[in-house]
Structure 1
Amino acid sequence: MALAVALTGAPAQAAAAPGAPGIGDPYFPDYGNGGYDVSHYDIRVRYHPGADVLTGTTTILARASQDLSSFNLDFALNVTSIKVNGWTATYARQGDHEVVVTAPRPISRNQFLTIVVQYEGVPSEVVAAGYTAWTKTSDGALAIGQPEIAWWWYPSNDHPRDKATHDISVLVPDGVEVLSNGVMPRAPRAEIPGWTRWSWRSTRPMASYLAFMAIGQYEIVTDTAPNGLPVINAYSENLAEYATSARASIERTSEVVEWAEGIFGPYPFEAMGGVAVAPSTIGFALENQTRSTYAAEFFRRGSDPYVVVHENAHQWFGDSVAVDTWQDIWLNEGFASYAEWLWSEYTGEGTADELFEFYYNLYPVTSSFWTVKPGDPGPPNIFHPAVYDRGAMAVHQIRLAMGDNAFFALLKAWTSARKDGNGNIAQLQALAEAISGRDLDAVFTTWLYTPTKPALGLAGAAAARSAGPTATRTEPKSFQKINAVHQELANKNW
């Protein structure tokens, strides 16, 4: 009788339900998935460069955040089998990048999950979201893209809200190099006749779009940074006339990071470096965690430290502190662009005031540039030049409104408090107001959310202090370099 009473009084368990097909991003509703949180990806792939054939097994360690009857994975290649906690699961494709996995046994909230997915395909032939992010090259391939790339080489919960650590292991023909994130826990080694396995490990949580592979013929250069961390740079053997200027830029990575630590706080990851890819391969640079990747064309006019500054600033703003939703992209691009202005000040090539004045005058009031709101650019415009250029102008206006002491305290407080996590614009504004003791709503609203060219008030006028007549001004020395970076970024080939 006592047992019966206890059972009668027990709360009823919630019924198992499918996990949501999206994580809740207002711009990309079906990106990411609900019902579980990933802690680690173990990715093992074999790649045949000539045929562009990829076969792989990815093991996902996760925890259920609800009672689940099914859940989704973001993935575009052909799946051959899925097991959940050792049991064979059924699955079905839904759309071009969703795989719906039906649980072979009930999954309870907080239950640990080991999800093993086997797959194969020719990534360059797979179209999802209207394009192919995977790039086949003459000597291998590049798995690099934003906001999507994982779909073409490993199944994931593909949204910055669900970060995880990564082990990435790639089997390629002997003589082919593989670059990826983090450090190499072991040297490349022969595993079967004619094939070599490359292993990479990321020990800090990483958004899935920041995981990358560069496969092909690369010269790898290693060193140790002043902060004691390993530096791993790589240069395509097909760089031709871009080789020396690429090296003169990317080999300054540890110098740039040391400078940035003084502004943003301690470097947040276990390694650093960069990869220069062959000409006519990609049309952008991307801040892959610990190892930014650069199109050769960034260096066609000579060395370009500004793109190195931009991508390494993202290690704090974008990688360590990721966007909460893709609407918050200004937190990535506005601050990385402004880091270029700070580097320009540091090297004596033009002050942030001068750069603000130049960019403000560059776009006439009638330009459609001003109609894009950096704080809410809309899905088609997340990489619009306004997110970068007006985004940097917005950061400068926030600096002027806060004062330098409070502004630079904000940069370190933001990257420290949200390390390995996420943030949104409202949270940044709240922190800025708490640190400065000032109401900053007008400056945030004007520069991030108003679709017209802002008029310059007293704070904005500080950008022209001691400048003299605009007609007699010459552009800052850094402008040509910085503008080239933004032009390349504006021409991204997603």
Structure 2
Amino acid sequence: MVSCPRRIAGVPRSVRSVLVRSVLVLFLLTACSGGGGRGADGAAGVGDPYFPKAGNGGYDVSHYDLTLAYDPKGRPALSGSAAITARAAQDLDSFHLDLRGLSVEEVTVEGARADWSRSGQELSVRPAHALDKGETFRVTVAYSGTPRPITDPDGSREGWLRTADGALALGEPVGSMAWFPGNHHPSDKATYDITVTVPKDLTAVSNGEPTAERTADGRTTSTWHIAEPMASYLATLAIGRYTVTRSTTEDDLPVYVAVDPTQVSASREVLARLPEIMDWAQNNFGPYPFSSTGAIVDRPEDSRYALETQNRPVFPGPPDTATLVHEIAHQWFGDSVTPRTWRDMWLNESFATYAEWLWEEDEGGATAEETFTDLYENGEEDYPGLWDFPPGDPPTAADISSDPVYQRGAMVVHRIRRTVGDDTFYDIVQGWTAAHRHGTADTDDFTAYVERQAPDQDFDEIWDDWLHGEGKPELP
């Protein structure tokens, strides 16, 4: 409740009346608009079905410019500045960034100091001046600390992992917020420039292509440019002692490979097949969507799982050929065509797993049909939870990387191939990767696309029983 003065001394009654009315109107407009701004607060999270706090509403990021310094013996170990270019999707009085741990020292928006506060993984930013819908703005966050790993719902570790000689940053699904602030949800992709300074006896490797390197005062600074849009969970930073090789494929695509010295000998044979696998993948999935390829091979104890980080997947020790094929296939399925929510994870893993089946078929091993049949008849022996839930509807966040998403998801892909025949199947696969290149897509987008490409076929049984149905489907 607000009380107003009954008299304004020294002002004629008629003028006082006008002033009072004007002040009242101004007060009501201000109160109704939320206290001085015509905007609103951007949402803290995009409402993902499995990670509702991931990402943020009210804006879209177009570019991250990260400047980092890391010293495993330093206190703090990491210091950084993240300059984030974004476009307001609504009028904004404030907005959020995702950042786990680390200490924030200063936040600016368009060069002016902004108010900020922390609550859990949310960094709330209130600019000095409200942002208009459609306005492009730049927010810069200075921060430091010792980044920590994050434990996933399924028990695996991501985020910032200390290694024997440095660190390894892995982000799926939400680990990237452990080392830089951002809009950490796959629905918001952006380009990147990442500049990293480390002690000169260490090497820093990231996504994209290296554009500069210099050594001075006992420290080496390298810069990496990622020109194609990338979901933040695909960003990586590997710091340690690496044997680095640079080459090109037959069509002049740069290949950048970094291998822990203890893994070089055991990795040599399989990594030599990378250009061959790239050529095979392009023949099957369409033109390669990025400007370089490669791999990062660390020690087995450093991460314990492979990840399809953009441009160069990360492997815990030397991968076998099937795993290398799987992670390279992800460059199309997951990295270029990115799931709009984590419910759509099967779109990543089903095609990457099916790529393994296709590779084996083309190498003269079991056909995809034989792999499908053996999995249907005997799959519970290797994958006890194979029929626990449908790939399109994992019950919890802990299940989005479980066997049904991978194996039963690949069975969905094979059922599509059996239904439409090889010619139409490969048209669908290559058309899908072209239609959503560098974008995001969900399950409804995919099923609608398949139906448009094969309008004379009935896919209800595949969608209802194999993609979304409970239990083990019956074969017709």
TM-score per shorter chain, which class?
0.7 to 0.9
Counterparts of 2:158 and 2:245, CA distance in 1: 30
1:79 pairs with one of 97, 104, 118: 104
1:91-121 Cα shifts (integer Å, max 9, x gaps): 11122x1111112111111111110100001
Counterparts of 1:124 and 1:208, CA distance in 2: 17
- Whether 2:330 is the aligned partner of 1:314: answer yes
Residue 383 of structure 1 is matched in structure 2 by 401
Residue 158 of structure 1 is matched in structure 2 by 184
Contact 2:149 2:159 in 1 (8 A): no
Counterparts of 1:289 and 1:17, CA distance in 2: 35
- Whether 2:458 is the aligned partner of 1:439: answer yes
Q: CA deviation at 1:425?
A: 1.3
Contact 2:198 2:220 in 1 (8 A): yes
Q: CA deviation at 1:125?
A: 7.0
Residue 485 of structure 1 is matched in structure 2 by none
1:467-490 Cα shifts (integer Å, max 9, x gaps): xxxxxxxxxxxxxxxxxxxxxxxx
Counterparts of 2:221 and 2:80, CA distance in 1: 13
Contact 1:212 1:288 in 2 (8 A): yes
Contact 2:197 2:222 in 1 (8 A): yes
Contact 1:81 1:118 in 2 (8 A): yes
Contact 2:171 2:233 in 1 (8 A): yes
Counterparts of 2:55 and 2:380, CA distance in 1: 39
Counterparts of 1:138 and 1:245, CA distance in 2: 19
Counterparts of 2:385 and 2:202, CA distance in 1: 46
Residue 178 of structure 1 is matched in structure 2 by 204
- Whether 2:114 is the aligned partner of 1:89: answer yes
Residue 399 of structure 1 is matched in structure 2 by 417
Matches of residues 114-153 of structure 1 in structure 2 within 5 Å?
Answer: 114-124=138-148, 133-153=159-179
1:269-328 Cα shifts (integer Å, max 9, x gaps): 0000001101211111001000000011x54xxxx1111110010000000000011000
Matches of residues 97-108 of structure 1 in structure 2 within 5 Å?
Answer: 97-108=121-132
1:27 pairs with one of 50, 71, 82: 50
SS at match of 1:134: strand
Residue 451 of structure 1 is matched in structure 2 by 470
1:415 pairs with one of 420, 425, 433: 433
Counterparts of 2:79 and 2:162, CA distance in 1: 15
One-letter amino acid of the structure 2 residue matched with residue 155 of structure 1: P
2:372 pairs with one of 356, 369, 378: 356
- 367-376 vs 253-262, which moves further: 367-376
1:34-85 Cα shifts (integer Å, max 9, x gaps): 1111110000100012347100001001111111010000111211110000
1:152-187 Cα shifts (integer Å, max 9, x gaps): 11111011111000001100011211111011112x
Residue 374 of structure 1 is matched in structure 2 by 391
TM-score by length of 2: 0.88
Counterparts of 2:145 and 2:342, CA distance in 1: 29
Residue 227 of structure 2 is matched in structure 1 by 203
1:228 pairs with one of 252, 277, 285: 252
Contact 1:398 1:444 in 2 (8 A): no
One-letter amino acid of the structure 1 residue matched with residue 442 of structure 2: N
Counterparts of 1:86 and 1:260, CA distance in 2: 45
Q: CA deviation at 1:24?
A: 3.0
Counterparts of 1:28 and 1:177, CA distance in 2: 33
Residue 488 of structure 1 is matched in structure 2 by none
Residue 484 of structure 1 is matched in structure 2 by none
One-letter amino acid of the structure 1 residue matched with residue 53 of structure 2: D
Residue 88 of structure 2 is matched in structure 1 by 64
User: Structure 2 vs 1, CA of residues 442 and 382 (structure 1 numbering), >3 Å: closer, same or farther?
Assistant: same
Matches of residues 187-266 of structure 1 in structure 2 within 5 Å?
Answer: 188-190=213-215, 192-239=216-263, 243-266=264-287
User: Structure 2 vs 1, CA of residues 128 and 443 (structure 1 numbering), >3 Å: closer, same or farther?
Assistant: closer
Aligned residues: 435
- Stretches of structure 1 lacking an aligned partner (at least 5 in a row): 1-11, 458-494
Q: CA deviation at 1:135?
A: 0.6
User: Structure 2 vs 1, CA of residues 325 and 126 (structure 1 numbering), >3 Å: closer, same or farther?
Assistant: closer
SS at match of 1:228: coil
Identity across the alignment (%): 42
User: Structure 2 vs 1, CA of residues 364 and 119 (structure 1 numbering), >3 Å: closer, same or farther?
Assistant: closer
1:231-290 Cα shifts (integer Å, max 9, x gaps): 001110132xxx333221223222111111111110000000001101211111001000
Contact 2:158 2:171 in 1 (8 A): no
Counterparts of 1:189 and 1:83, CA distance in 2: 29
Counterparts of 1:128 and 1:428, CA distance in 2: 27
Counterparts of 1:288 and 1:350, CA distance in 2: 29
One-letter amino acid of the structure 1 residue matched with residue 475 of structure 2: L
User: Structure 2 vs 1, CA of residues 369 and 318 (structure 1 numbering), >3 Å: closer, same or farther?
Assistant: same
SS at match of 1:72: strand
User: Structure 2 vs 1, CA of residues 125 and 398 (structure 1 numbering), >3 Å: closer, same or farther?
Assistant: closer
SS at match of 2:137: strand
1:46 pairs with one of 50, 57, 69: 69
- Stretches of structure 2 lacking an aligned partner (at least 5 in a row): 1-31
2:193 pairs with one of 167, 171, 186: 167
SS at match of 2:413: helix
Counterparts of 1:60 and 1:274, CA distance in 2: 27
TM-score by length of 1: 0.85
Structure of greater Rg: 2
One-letter amino acid of the structure 2 residue matched with residue 344 of structure 1: E
Contact 1:44 1:169 in 2 (8 A): yes
- 373-382 vs 318-327, which moves further: 373-382
Counterparts of 1:358 and 1:246, CA distance in 2: 30
Counterparts of 2:380 and 2:214, CA distance in 1: 58
SS at match of 2:123: strand
